[in-house]
Structure 1
């Protein structure tokens, strides 16, 4: 004889009619793993405290002559107060259908009329159980989504700086963030464009939704539409399932389009169409899907170049730069350099379990005189290296190896002493000369330095000239401490 596999569920039947309780238990035990019965509703609080019921079958009336349903309403409200997640199915006589419908309005899920049909009871309880599980899955997804949203908007980085240039940036952010206006952030590599984009999101009404960052410079042209717009199963070779695009994935939140200046003209046209219509069509689909996303874009391309219609579509630029924020280079931020350095010193002393380190006065002067072509990213790497290598409680200029690039005096960088002098430029391979030491590691480092200087630290252009991907260039920069 084939063994019947019971569904894993805990059911409770509450009725003052012993015949109903026995019949109900015998019927439901065939289908479900555990069925409890109770003929005294006043025991419900204790039972609910001791057990996690999936479905509760509750009679509308208790005691002879009762037909108003008042008792059923009372215990229904108690159940919902004590265990809101329990699914309640009311039991009523045929004449009490109107009362049962009123109970549904008060929180019950369904009702069973007496005398009942076995198939109807099984179907009703099964449906109620499915509803319970759907609600549980929905709650789990909600919690997971909240965790994902929090993960996308949280960051360990802090916006540091009280210089006049940064005060202007903060002012623009505070005024633009509460609106839904698109924002274009301009600035050299390493100036903190994504950090500002996250700050805009955090100060907006979308802060409780996702912040999604997309590096357009890292997406190949052939995958652009699939990545941003999504695709349907079978849309192209390898599309084995439906995939949601980045635009729809950021629904309700903020989509950060980094390196927008590297987007080819023909892809700029496709992006413009989507942003104008506020609808996206996944590859392989004929259906347009509306979206509600705020766009924040960023680029290290100079503003004058963006104004060239042969390089960047002006209609797309107007769509993106409703509000335009230009981040100052680190060399233009005066004493912010020292504040940022001290912040990173604290971070890396903690990370590498070092004693508290300080900056020597001469070191501060050297840092202020340095050009910082890699901006905050370069400063962060320099501080990390200095913390690791330093053998003293005070960090010296030599710990930062600032002679790898040509320093420049910034017009806004204050001098700490009149005797301060720029750090001399180190001879490299910029004049077509090979270094004295023909070490491949040394030559690689110098080649990367030269490419970065040539392209003003534009990672995409430097990587292209070196024959590397952006990711590979970043790895080599990290390797050489650049």
Structure 2
């Protein structure tokens, strides 16, 4: 019989009872721990999590009231309110059993217990505990996944040679559990690549969980990634699983990993190295099993090699077993027409304009444009043109690109609209520094987080 992956704790002052119970239960579970001193209960529970606890009701010689056991039930539930506590005593009666259940015990065994009865009781509550954990994890997983329901993640659209190598790498890396680092400018499709790897991997039936590290504040980093216990901080009204825990068994996608500060990089590295996380407000390590995919538009290697590094080299080595460098749209010229027709069809149907077409003059204009925002900018440009056009054919004027920098570097028309000027200035800074947001933000005189918010605002 295969042993169950579980941890059982037996607390009893009778060494013979501890020995017998351990012999019975270690045939069923991978870990069985015994303890004869109740004073060790709390230090144990603060460090470790147990699936089922078998607790004696009396520890002091001559005491038969069970009051000690009732006390320890209360204390244990303060640390772990979902603990599965099975109480046992040689002086059992109905009143004591009722009181123990009122305090939070889940079952009651009277000594001497039969081997089969002990085994069946502990196994039953082990399964109950695991089921409750699964329900809780599914609840948090649904909450995390619901954030993706508003968006549709289409297949990667391309017929360019530049992307052929990307598709080949995706095919090779998907069948492994290797960590992947995806590099590229904003809007090049890093998340689409991450999802494509997950869909083609053995982990596809499990969750794909995305964390936008550029939007996670330092104060909420540990809670977001590692979870927290009820009461760990103001607003923590219930236990909550973190993204690592929710993604366990599946894929964790850390977007904008280059935005992490050095202290947060250290915490992330510790979790990846140990394959364990600790919820905020607890001391209990939880095993995690995730396939990690990271992405950034920043030059991590340059940051890691600076005199005062902005990115840890040991973390960089941990996340980039396989590296994928996505080309910008300006280096995928043959894909522009394909993408325009794809988005034209998509938004034509969405906005009830399925007969819309685009003339060759407009298509030439789009192919000449520099596209600093890459595919995302192209997508938004087509969507806006579909919405605003009153004609059956999209023309150059429908795309409003004349105010933006063309591939030649010439600005065709200036604008005095402050938001348009800011958007164009930000685009120029990002283009000038080849997508390096640290350098772009310095030139613009704003923090990275401010730059990140404005890029989201303008769809860059």
Same fold (TM over 0.5): yes
Of 273-282 and 392-401, more deviation after overlay is shown by 392-401
> CA 1:234/1:384 → structure 2, altered by over 3 Å: closer, same or farther?
same
TM-superposed CA distance for 1:291, in Å, is 0.4
Candidates 201, 205, 210, aligned match of 2:198: 201
Pair 1:473 & 2:454 matched: yes
Counterpart pick for 1:447 among 400, 422, 427 = 422
**2:162 paired with 1:176:** no
Q: Which residue of the partner structure matches residue 72 of structure 1?
A: none
Q: Aligned match of 1:294 in 269, 280, 291?
A: 291
Q: Cα deviations across residues 367-415 of structure 1 (Å, max 9, x unaligned)?
A: 111110000110001101111222333222221122232222xxxxxxx
User: What whole-Å deviation, never above 9, does each CA across 1:164-214 have from its counterpart, x for those lacking one?
Assistant: 111110000000011000000000000010011000000000100110100
Distance 1:464 1:203, change over 3 A: farther
Report if the CA contact (8 A) 1:186-1:324 is conserved. Answer: yes
Partner of 1:425: 411
Cα distance in 2 between the residues matched to 1:392 and 1:189: 32
Would you identify which runs of 4 or more consecutive aligned residues in structure 1 move more than 4 Å? Answer: 134-154, 457-464, 466-472
Residue 239 of structure 2 aligns with which residue?
Answer: 242
- 2:319 is matched with 320
Structure-2-length-normalised TM-score? 0.63
1:430-465 CA-partner distances (Å, limit 9, x unpaired): xxxxx6x5xxxx112212321232133667865982
Question: How big is each residue's C-alpha offset from its partner over 1:311-336, in whole Å with a ceiling of 9 and x where there is no partner?
Answer: 11111001000000011100111211
For the residues of structure 2 that align with 1:249 and 1:290, how far apart are their CA atoms? 12
Mapped to 2, the partners of 1:296 and 1:219 lie a distance apart of 17
Q: Report how many residues are paired.
A: 325
Q: Pick the aligned partner of 1:222 from 211, 219, 223.
A: 219
1:266 CA displacement: 1.2
Please identify, of 243-252 and 358-367, the stretch whose mean Cα deviation from structure 2 is larger.
Answer: 358-367
Structure 2 contact 214–452 (Cα < 8 Å) conserved: no
| Cα distance in structure 1, aligned partners of 2:188 and 2:208 | 19
2: CA distance, partners of 1:214 / 1:140: 20
- Give the alignment of 1:17-28 within 5 angstroms: none
Runs of 5+ in structure 1 lacking a partner?
1-127, 409-421, 429-434
Higher Cα radius of gyration: 1
Going from structure 1 to structure 2, the CA distance change for 1:374 and 1:142 (only over 3 Å counts) comes to: closer
Shift of 1:475: 6.1
Call closer, same or farther: CA 1:221–1:135 in 2, change over 3 Å. closer
Partner of 2:356: 357
Q: Which has the higher contact order (CA 8 A, sep 6+)?
A: 2
The corresponding residue for 1:233 is 230
